Homo-oligomer: A and B are copies of this chain.
Amino acid sequence: MLQNDPLRDRIIGRFDEMSPQLQQAARYILEHPQEVALVSMRELARNAGLQPSTMTRLAKFLDLPGYDDIRAHHAEALRFRADGFAARAMQHSENEQDMAAAQLSRRMLQGLAAQIARLSEPASLERLSATADRLAQARRIYVLGLRSCHSVAWHFHYVMALLGEKTIHLDGPADTVGDGLIRAGAEDVLLAISINPYARHSLELAELAREKGLGIVAITDSEVSPLVGIADHAILCSTESQSFFHTLAPALAVSEVLCGLLANKDRTAALESLQRADRHLLSLNTYASAIPRRRI
């Protein structure tokens, strides 16, 4: 049971002032919070041996507009608890035209945080480490992410390129996206990233890779994503956001975790590679820590 529930406290606090019937209703609600969320008021009343109106009266007694507020409150608590994690703001329901900017931002950010936190459930963790294992044992990792997923694919490749030459990013202009697969074979793995709506080209290339015997590993958004069918391992991450667009932050987080797991398989090698990369970039004068004087 969740502590710090203001409605519960109010019920408890004013319990003594209630009439017998109201007390019975209140008691039943306190003792069966899930039922309140999952069952109609009339059925709840029936189960509690009460008249439907008693429930409405209880709501009014608590200075609420109606019973629906009681139910909404319990539903929210159940959502919250079922996810087990903080901040559950996800609801499209409000059409508050042109919400305050700050409010929209807050909802989006907390929603994203919750989605990423949810990835740390045991089931996801297992998938992550299985996927990382599969990637680790591959000779090469071909990375494919088109359109919106380009950012994730590119970032994965960028980070992995700092660690070695294991990844090949499938991308390119003039319809050469798939050319990288020319020399790919059964010892290799394709990391395919695609979310709804799925880019046709991504699916075609994934299928081609499968026919060539590559292992397939996917980051996608649903159990029924077309990639799940052809992938040896799939990691699912939600893409819903409080805005018009899908979010890729959870997918990016997954990608970063995979990089972390891979690097972690051989920490000393990883460190060494990173240092070499550092030296290289240093000698190229790639980085700066202040605005450089403009050459004239």
Query: Measuring CB to CB, which residues of chain A are less than 8 angstroms from any residue of chain B?
Result: 1, 3, 8, 11-12, 15, 23, 26-27, 30-31, 34, 37-39, 43, 47, 75, 78-79, 81-87, 92-93, 97-102, 104-106, 108-110, 112-114, 116-117, 119-126, 128-129, 132, 147-148, 150-152, 154-155, 158-159, 162, 196-201, 203-204, 206-208, 211, 221-224, 226, 229-230, 238, 240-245, 247-249, 252-253, 256-257, 259-261, 263-264, 267, 270-271, 274, 281, 285-292, 294
Q: How far is the CA of A196 from the CA of B123 in the complex (A)?
A: 34
Do B105 and A128 touch (CB < 8 A)? yes
Residues of B near A154 (CB, < 8 A) are: 150-151, 154
Do A98 and B267 touch (CB < 8 A)? yes
Q: Which of B75, B99, B114, B199 contacts A38 (CB 8 A)?
A: B75
Do B260 and A203 touch (CB < 8 A)? no
Do B109 and A257 touch (CB < 8 A)? yes
Do A252 and B1 touch (CB < 8 A)? no
Do B126 and A38 touch (CB < 8 A)? no
Do A245 and B256 touch (CB < 8 A)? yes
Do A128 and B101 touch (CB < 8 A)? yes
Do B116 and A27 touch (CB < 8 A)? no
Q: How far is the CA of A287 from the CA of B79 in the complex (A)?
A: 33
Do A243 and B223 touch (CB < 8 A)? no
Residues of B near A34 (CB, < 8 A) are: 78-79, 82-83
Q: Which of B113, B274, B294 contacts A207 (CB 8 A)?
A: B294
Do A109 and B120 touch (CB < 8 A)? yes
